[in-house]
Amino acid sequence: MNLTEFINLAIGVPFLDHGRDFQGWDCWGLVVRAYRECFGVEVPGYEDVSALNSKDAGELFEFHKKSWTEVPAHQEHPGDVILLRHGSWPCHTGLIVKAGLMLHVDMGIDTCVESYVSGVWKKRVIGIYRHAEFAG
């Protein structure tokens, strides 16, 4: 399936902590499923970490960032992963669908496409990352 097909199927999928399929997923579950379906890349699922525990999720993201390469500003591509903070903790991810727009899901927000360069998300961006499989 290509990314556009995935996006069309993903819109409206509800938030489900520990979810990893089209019945429901958390923000990382969305990334896991997109990478599998669109790129044939398996990324760790971290099913044992609750998306609702921002401290644990943040520590996990920080620990595993070595598998990803940070993308310089304005060089993001569809399929890159955006990392966002809540307070000081990195705790939310989205999938870049095009420069300025991410596909994401959060508690109280079904899967949707939103801008990460304006509004509430702009102030929460930590960085954009490309999986080692695509970096280089």
Residue 94, pLDDT score: 95
Does CATH place domain 3-131 in 3.90.1720.10? yes
Q: For the chain, give me the number of helices (H) and strands (E)?
A: 4, 8
Residue spans per domain, the chain: 3-131
Give the mean pLDDT of the chain. Answer: 89
103 Cβ partners below 8 Å, 6+ apart?
Answer: 7, 10, 11, 30, 34, 94, 95, 97, 111, 112, 113
Taking residues 1-18, what's their average pLDDT?
A: 97
Taking residues 8-12, what's their average pLDDT?
A: 98
pTM reported for the whole predicted model: 0.91
DSSP string, 85-111: EETTEEEEEEEEEETTEEEEEETTEEE
pLDDT bin (cut points 50, 70, 90) of residue 43 is: confident
For residue 54, pLDDT over 70 is answered with no
User: Do the Cβ atoms of 45 and 32 come closer than 8 Å?
Assistant: yes
Write out pLDDT tens, residues 74-124.
Answer: 999 999 999 998 777 788 899 999 999 999 999 999 999 999 999 999 999
Where does the chain show beta strands of DSSP type E? Answer: 20-21, 24-25, 68-70, 81-86, 89-98, 101-106, 109-115, 125-131
